[in-house]
Amino acid sequence: MMLRDALESRTVDQLKNLLALLPTDRRVLRKGDLVALIAEELLEGDLKPIWLELSELDVKAISEAVHAWSGRFDYSRFKVKYGALPTLHEYSPYGYGNRNRQKPRSVLPLFFYDNEIPPDLRARLISLAPPPAVNRIETTPQAALPETFVLKDLEVADYPVWRHSTEPLVRQDLPAVLRLVEAGRVSVGPKTGVASAASLKAIEGVLAGGDWYRPEDDRELQRWAGGPIRPIKPYAWPLLLQTGGLAKIDGSKLALTPKGRKALGEPLESTVKLLFERWQTKGKPDELRRVDLIKGQTSKGARLTAVSGRRDAIAEMLATCPQGEWIQLDQFFRFMQLEGIGFEVSDNPWKLYFADANYGSLGYEGNASFEILQARYALAYLFEYLATLGMIDVVYTLPYHVRGGYGRCWGTDEFAFLSRYDGLLYLRLNALGAFCLGLTDSYVPLVESVPPLLQVHPDATLTLVREPMAAEQLMLEQYAEAQPDGRWRLRLEAAMASAARVDERERLGDFLGQALGGELPVALTRFLALVEERATALRDEGAARLFTCRDAAFAAMLSTDPATAPHCLRAGERLIVVPQAKLNAFQKALTKLGYVLPEILTAS
């Protein structure tokens, strides 16, 4: 809408108010004349006298609109960047009461019409308005990261602060959880896919370092005050594996799919990238469901937005972060809003609420703020899933009373936190995360040097020379048996139980090689050779049909006649076996000899 069109949409009184802001003594009464005069002054007149009346904040508003926001004024982004808003007030010499006349005079309404500067006026302002400061995300040097977290408003001891590089963790956690699933030790709900309490404990037991929070960190609050802060990582892993197609529900337990078994031998980065990409589009449940204190999420009227759009927006923001640099979460969210990388959580926040559906509705002004909905959703997504996948490194503390933004809302007085993820303080995009986001074409694994696990004795028994990691412990328990003297002995029957799969035989050999830190001794080489020999003693030639002949002479004829012999094998005195792939050829040859096949029986 050009300036004249914008002016035409105003009433005569509004136009008179605008004219009073212009440095001209000319006065007209008719609407058409008012429109023409104001447009002439703004598009052709000297704007410098008007410009001098603008406050510093007014100038920044025009600069952002002209240079960065395609002519529109974005209230929320401006408030985030500058901490205040300009006074968009049309001063009226005619007045609307004392309250209106007391407001300061502002010439900003001459430039903005329905929060937008018309394109023809914008063209004039480009040379007058200085370009705004470029938005930059602030990073924190590692040396400046806090060792403890101080709660200024509460008389409590300082909270501990934990820092984790997650790439080494996921390198141990992913195969360990896959092995746990393979062993049939993860039970899940048949509809939700969420692990049972016992399984969550078992998963935590195989994770490097356990969950983000220790059992003693959980104050076991009542649900109306926040509820438990655990589990986080153990909760996420079964859902990630199911979404990624690496595991499926089999009865009441999870079982590895062929893709899941293959993942045990695949490069870590390819599996993590698969899990991340599948979660982006298909992951369930909605991360907001884990923010327990926001009620009404399952009501029909809540109209929650598609989770894929929310996840994509956060991933887009993460992709703008400098790799290897620590970023405070407040800075992350600030930059997200400045760049307009946004998403909505609900199209009807009136149906979401704290404590009471009426008094605590998020539909009231300010209750559905970025800090309450978008930030809490993002914290759950980042801490529970991306950090678990090893894509971001994290610095965090206890969540109790750490992050605010909800204190003015009805019904929140007793809240100790809004989400269990409120303790996340800093994040760092690492090399694995950059690869999964498509920022790099290749990934160089961050592999820490690990000393050998086992020592072999002349009798082929094994001794642990260090504490095994979770995945190593599961491998030992699967293929070896603990001896009374503390040693381990490989079990041939255990190796043969999974030896039908080539990848499993290779994995056993790789494990022993890595665990011993060098060449395998003769005794173990012979053990693996015996497994290979027995596993390949038979070969599957495919499906076949078994036919019983009338007598031994007819069976002998079919197995020797040049027409039928190439397509069948004699399996006994009166039995003929025909491979399924050769059945048609055998049937045609049989017809040439003057015989027919009986009707092929099929399973009912």
CB distance 467 to 427 below 8 Å = no
- Taking phi over 0 as left and psi of -120 to 50 as alpha, with beta for the rest, 487 belongs to beta
The fraction of the chain above a pLDDT of 70, given in percent, is 96
- Over residues 418-465, the pLDDT tens digits come to 999 999 999 999 999 999 999 999 998 876 677 899 999 988 999 999
Beta strands in 145-204 (DSSP E): 148-149, 159-164
**pLDDT surpassing 80 at residue 171:** yes
Whether the pLDDT of residue 89 is over 60: the answer is no
Name every residue whose Cβ is closer than 8 Å to that of residue 63 and which is 6 or more positions away in sequence. 129, 130, 131, 132
Q: Report pLDDT for 97.
A: 43
Q: 382-396 pLDDT, tens per residue?
A: 999 999 999 999 999
Predicted local distance difference test score (pLDDT) of residue 92: 42
**Where is pLDDT greater, at 153 or 585?**
585
CA nearest 488: which of 504, 470, 512? 512
Position 518 scores a pLDDT of 83
Query: What's the whole-number mean pLDDT along residues 388-406?
Result: 97
Paired with 463 in beta bridges are: 455
- pLDDT value, residue 198: 97
pLDDT digits (tens, 9 = 90+) for 576-597: 999 999 999 999 999 999 999 9
Whether pLDDT at 101 is above 50: no
Task: Cite the DSSP H helix spans in 244-291.
Answer: 258-263, 268-282
State phi, psi for 384 to the nearest 5 degrees.
Answer: -85, -30
What is the pLDDT averaged over residues 305-309? Answer: 97
- Please tell me the predicted confidence (pLDDT) of residue 601: 64
For 115-139, how does the pLDDT look when each residue is reduced to its tens digit (9 = 90+)?
A: 999 999 999 999 999 999 999 999 9
> According to DSSP H, which parts of 307-351 are helical?
307-319, 329-338
Strands 454-456 and 575-579: unpaired
Helix (H) or strand (E) holding 5: helix 3-8
pTM over 0.75: yes
pLDDT at 329 over 50: yes
The order of strands in the sheet holding 544-548 is 544-548, 575-579, 569-570
Q: Which one is predicted more confidently, 157 or 201?
A: 201
Q: Taking every pair of C-alpha atoms in the chain, what is the biggest distance, in angstroms?
A: 125
Residue 102 has pLDDT above 60, yes or no: no
Pairwise CA distance, residues 543 & 603, whole Å? 15
In 3-state terms, what secondary structure has residue 427? strand
- Please identify which residue in the block is written with the tokens 């045609």: 588
d(CA 307, CA 297): 13
pLDDT (0 to 100) of residue 96: 41
User: What is the Cα–Cα distance from 321 to 122, expressed in whole angstroms?
Assistant: 32
Share of the chain above pLDDT 90, in %: 83
- 507 vs 4 pLDDT, higher one: 4
Give the residue-averaged pLDDT of 11-15.
Answer: 94
- Is residue 309's pLDDT more than 70? yes
What's the rounded Cα separation, in Å, for the pair 429 and 432?
8
Q: 564: pLDDT confidence band, cut at 50, 70 and 90?
A: very high
**pLDDT at residue 91 above 50?**
no
Residue range 311-340: mean pLDDT, rounded: 97
| pLDDT for 98 | 42
